[in-house]
Chains A and B, each alone.
Chain A
Amino acid sequence: MIPLWMFLLVAAALFCIGAYGVLSRRNAIAILMGVELMLNAVNINLVAFWRYLTPLNMSGQAFAAFVFVVAAAEAAIGLAIIIAVYRNRRSVVVEDVNLLKW
């Protein structure tokens, strides 16, 4: 059986890729995708911990399901915002969207 640490390793790798994408990409859609990666990495963790540590307790699965729902909603709203920004500024580069500051 695949040991738990392998799942965790994959998840950590995935999270780091996602985090890197979020921090380094200029395109807002790419950032959004990075966020999705991070969320899925967390999902892997949740499911893996559930499966290995508390298989009798469904909370891990349930959490993962919640995260899907939230991620879907977040993606929808995020894309809508990006479209709205694009309509105003003709750009999806986040560095151009810097009005909200001091």
Chain B
Amino acid sequence: MQFDLNDPNILPWLIPAGPLLAFVIIVLLTNRARWLPATSPEYGGHHPDYEGMEVPVVHASSRVASIIVGMSGAVTALLLALAVVTQVAAYPERFGKGVFASSVDWLATGAGAFSMGVLVDPLTTIMLIMVPIAVLCIFIYSIGYMAHDPRQARFFALISLFAGAMLTLVVADNLLLLFVGWEVMGLCSYMLIGFWFEKESAYKAAIKAFTTTRVADVIMLLGIAYLYAETGTLSFREILYNAEVLDRLASAPAIIFGSVSAAGLISIFLIIGTIGKSAQFPLHVWLPDAMEGPTPVSAMIHAAAMVSAGIYAIIRMYPLLAAGGDPHHGEFTSPLLLMAVVGAVTALFSATIAVAQNDVKRVLAYSTISQLGFMMAALGIGAYVAAAFHLITHAFFKALLFMASGSVIHGMEHGEHHVHEHAHHHKAHHAHDAHAEHDHEAHHKHFDPQDMMNMGGLRKTMPVTFYTFLIGGLSLAGFPLITAGFWSKDEILADAWLGVTHGYGPHALVFVLLALAAFLTAFYTMRQLGLTFWGEPRTEEAKHASLGQGAVSITMTLPLIVLAFFALTAGFVGVPPDFPLFGAIFSPQTNPFFDFVKYTLLPEFQPAKPPFNWIPVLTSFVVALGGIYAGYLMYWRKPLQAGQEDPLISILGRPLHTTLRNKYYLDELYHALLIVPSQWLARVVAEALDRGVIDGVLALIARVFTWIGDLLKVLNTWLIDGVGDGIPRLIGQFGNWIRRAQTGRVQQYLLFVALAALVIGIIFVVSTGLLQAAG
């Protein structure tokens, strides 16, 4: 294969290579024993994230090396991705007719070979813009955020692998390669969520994330295997761009659940994979716990990679999902209905949980689940482009929000450190002031830098974080007209409304639930902003929260500013042309995003552009502004004072609030329904089956064999040893007997010789004579 860097068919191969190579290089270069030690030999004492823990100091050389290598990987990926995008953009006429792709034969077995390759179509292109930008921002941010962590080499290696896996998944031209990237990300998320594995909650969260997604992944793999069995290929080009194959799959009955078509069953399996990966109800439980990882990892999981990958996969597989139906004319296939219902329910369900959370990152986690529900529901009603659009805008503003919340946490830790030092200082000079000391100790022990109840007023000390957080929050809330989130949510609602006007039930369900979810989204975003940044500081720590000066603060604020730019402007690529005023400015002829992405689909699947309608737009306005206003009334007009209770409790009533706060007790429910029985089963199996039956059988077999062994031993001593020893003994006795012939007297010997010669001579003579007589 000729490698031509100007060939857009070939170049995508190189996009994942940068981060993957960075992973290999960092892992090989930095470790304890070699010339670039990961940590310096002397121990440094206090770890920023675990109380009273002795940790080695990070070695400056390995820190610099990991950052340089990791950054070069990310920058290479970005440059190559942009090169591919520009090359692709140079051939606009290609789309609709074919895609850019190349592949090699891999695993040639028997008659057929599995073809592995890369593919760039409009959907890939938009992902290739979003993913590397977000990844690079996360990398830059990590430099500052992880500056004091002792395991930076490990961090940058893993996050590079994460980015490489995501890019592999994006450029993959078949489901298997996509699944490879998918699983590598699963592994990376496991290791990064559990990055601070000394904390019990962190490793538990890592295991939870891994096992929950594993449940879904196994089912997804089942779907992939079934698809391969049905079609003999997993290539997107041969399945998704081939109406014939899709028709065949849609008309063939499935092997089980006869009422579903083969395409339907495969799709449902794939969707379950996404439900796990993109944390949809009921497999969403791992995502909030995944907050235990470092914040850049949260941003990576929630925005750039992991959960986007799930949605990307089903957007990619949409033709298969919709095969045999047409959501634009009210014909829903079962996978589409599943997505619409799961997505819409998840969107509303997790939005209600988010309003009652106090952990700054957990609110965002539930908002991620909710927004992913938006995308899933949009795809379920056939709003293909709208789902892809929301995926992109969401990635930008959610990466921004996560990193901004990371800055908040970092600032709060900074403040905590400040208060801590101040108290020590205080203690040294006023040792007799026992009361203050006690007060401080008690306070310090329970301080949680992620609890929004401890914050307030941070806008004064962290202005950049505040404004970027505000932009991200407004974008999430869908603040009309100027934020990216508005345009993508509006497009989903517009698509849903189009179905409602035709009287389609699923569209109506999606429209209503998503509108409610959008209202709640706006509300909890304002609540979060109000609790965190508005009012007066509620604790000493919040008063002193800041990012500090210098490189750390620059690396942490720069990505926020970049992402804030995208969070505001990314929506303008998809403004409907008939939207008053804005349509004329941003898309005078055509909706650029829509008319680009729709060519990912075959013409018969391409969605119709929803005509402009005031009802969904006004709905978007009302829910966003209504939610923002409600949040303003409750948390901005009268900011929460220190020690004051959340006003939401009195409005919702305490039992409801507690239920929401405890996430509808789903974790407890799963614990009771799944974990406790499986532990019980494990115990029963261990005691009854393992120790009783298996150990019993094994012991019995062992005893039988011991007995047989004893028997053989006796046989051995008697027979074999008897024979074995007897023969030499006989020979020895015979030797003893016969050696008496050795008298030592030469003449006697000679006599025997003479006699023997005589005897032999006689025998010879006699036998010769006999022979002659006979002859």
A-B interaction: yes
- In whole angstroms, what is the CA distance A97 to B749 when docked? 13
Contacts of B744 in A (CB 8 A): 97-101
Are A101 and B742 within 8 A (Cβ)?
Answer: yes
Give the residues in chain B near A19, CB-CB below 8 Å.
754
Question: Which single member of A23, A95, A101 contacts B750 (CB below 8 Å)?
Answer: A23
B707-766 contacts to A, CB under 8 A, are 739-740, 742-747, 750-751, 754
The answer to the question of A102 belonging to the interface, with a C-beta cut-off of 8 Å to chain B, is: yes
Chain B residue nearest to A22 (CB atoms) is B750
Which A75-102 residues have C-beta < 8 A from chain B? 94-95, 97-102
Residues of B within 8 A of A99 (CB): 744
The contact of A22 among B739, B742, B747, by CB within 8 Å, is B747
Q: Which residue of A lies closest to B738 (CB)?
A: A102
Report how far A99 CA is from B754 CA in the complex, Å: 22
Find the B residue at minimum CB distance from A100: B744
Residues of A within 8 A of B750 (CB): 22-23
Asked whether B747 lies within 8 Å of A23 as measured between CB atoms, the reply is: yes
CA distance A79 to B743 in the complex (A): 23
Chain B residues whose C-beta falls within 8 Å of the C-beta of A23 in the assembled complex = 747, 750-751, 754
State the majority secondary structure of interface residues on B: helix
In the complex, which residues of chain B have a beta carbon less than 8 angstroms from the beta carbon of A44? Answer: none
Task: Choose from B739, B747, B751, B754 the contact partner of A102 (Cβ within 8 Å).
Answer: B739
Are B743 and A98 neighbours in the complex by a CB distance under 8 Å? yes
Tell me how many residues of B have a C-beta within 8 Å of chain A: 11
| In the complex, chain A residues whose CB is within 8 Å of the CB of B754 | 19, 23
Give, as a whole number of angstroms, the nearest-CB distance from B751 to chain A.
6
- Chain B residues positioned under 8 Å from A42 (CB to CB): none
Q: Is A31 in contact with chain B by the CB < 8 A criterion?
A: yes
Residues of A near B751 (CB, < 8 A) are 23
| Cα A23 to Cα B752 with chains together (Å) | 10
Residues of B within 8 A of A94 (CB): 745-747
Q: Are A102 and B746 neighbours in the complex by a CB distance under 8 Å?
A: no
Q: Which of A24, A98, A102 interacts with B745 by CB under 8 Å?
A: A98
Interface centre among A31, A98, A102 (most CB of B within 10 A): A102
| Complex Cα–Cα for A31 and B745 (A) | 13
State A22–B754 Cα separation when bound (angstroms): 11
Chain B residues near A97 (CB-CB < 8 A): 744, 746
Once bound together, how far apart are the Cα atoms of A59 and B315, in whole Å? 110
Q: Which residues of A contact B742 (CB under 8 A)?
A: 100-102
Q: How far is the CA of A101 from the CA of B743 in the complex (A)?
A: 5
| Minimum distance in angstroms from B745 CB to a CB of chain A | 6
Which residue numbers of B lie inside 8 Å of A, CB to CB? 739-740, 742-747, 750-751, 754
Listed by A's residue number, 14 A-B pairs whose Cβ atoms lie within 8 Å are A19-B754, A22-B747, A22-B750, A23-B747, A23-B750, A23-B754, A24-B747, A31-B747, A94-B745, A94-B747, A98-B745, A99-B744, A100-B744, A101-B742
Interface positions of A (Cβ within 8 A of B)? 19, 22-24, 31, 94-95, 97-102
New A-B pairs, 20, CB < 8 Å, besides A95-B747, A102-B740: A19-B754, A22-B747, A22-B750, A23-B750, A24-B747, A31-B746, A31-B747, A94-B745, A94-B746, A94-B747, A95-B745, A97-B744, A97-B746, A98-B744, A98-B745, A100-B742, A100-B744, A101-B743, A101-B744, A101-B745
